[in-house]
Amino acid sequence: MEQEQQINGLLKQFKLRRTPTRSKILSLYLHKKYALAHRDIETTLSEEFDRVTIYRTLHTFEEKGLIHKVYDGSAAVKYALCGIECHKQEPHSHNHVHFTCYKCERTFCIENTNVPAIQLPGNYKTEAIHLFAKGICENCNT
Ligand SMILES: [Zn+2]
Ligand SMILES: [Zn+2]
Ligand SMILES: [Zn+2]
């Protein structure tokens, strides 16, 4: 199976041992292609894994740079799979725009669109800018 290879490849690349939770969550991300909150994952996998295991797995993935936090204005923090773009940058960074669709309510990474630099007055020192756009996504816009 192609996806199995992809999962093994990712785990290997990030020096992570393969566990059932890790491969299941990765397959969910590869399959869905949009940002998922802890709850979304929990709902899908609740019969197999408990929430603490899911939480720990997400934490490990984020620490290793497999996934990144996505701020889309909703109450729950979402995570999205890191793409080629963020691995290209040193240090690993997430400077791309996120897009939330009004129709399907999904949030996507817009990989090749960077957050523009902003000018702040005086002694403000920017460490991160999170920008999300809202509208109709390409899937809903057809
Ligand atoms: Zn990343
Ligand atoms: Zn949509
Ligand atoms: Zn993203």
Block residue for tokens 């290879």: 5
Give the orientation angle of helix 20-32 with respect to helix 51-64, to 10 degrees: 70
Going by C-alpha positions, the residue among 97, 95, 106 that lies closest to residue 138 is: 106
Question: Residue 122 C-alpha to ligand 1 middle, in angstroms?
Answer: 30
Domain edges within the chain = 2-135
Look at residue 110 in the predicted model and tell me its pLDDT.
93
Question: Residue 102 C-alpha to ligand 3 middle, in angstroms?
Answer: 18
Q: Does domain 2-135 have CATH number 3.40.630.40?
A: no
Question: Residue 86 C-alpha to ligand 3 middle, in angstroms?
Answer: 9
C-alpha to C-alpha distance for 111 and 35, rounded to whole angstroms: 13
| Tens-place pLDDT, residues 60-118 | 999 999 999 999 988 888 999 998 767 776 777 788 999 999 999 999 999 889 888 88
Question: Residue 140 C-alpha to ligand 2 middle, in angstroms?
Answer: 4
> Is the predicted pLDDT of residue 1 greater than 70, yes or no?
no
Looking at all shown ligands, the one closest to residue 139's CA atom is: 2
| Tens-place pLDDT, residues 122-142 | 999 988 888 999 999 999 998
Going by C-alpha positions, the residue among 31, 44, 40 that lies closest to residue 1 is: 31
- Order of all β-strands in the sheet with 96-101: 107-114, 96-101, 132-135
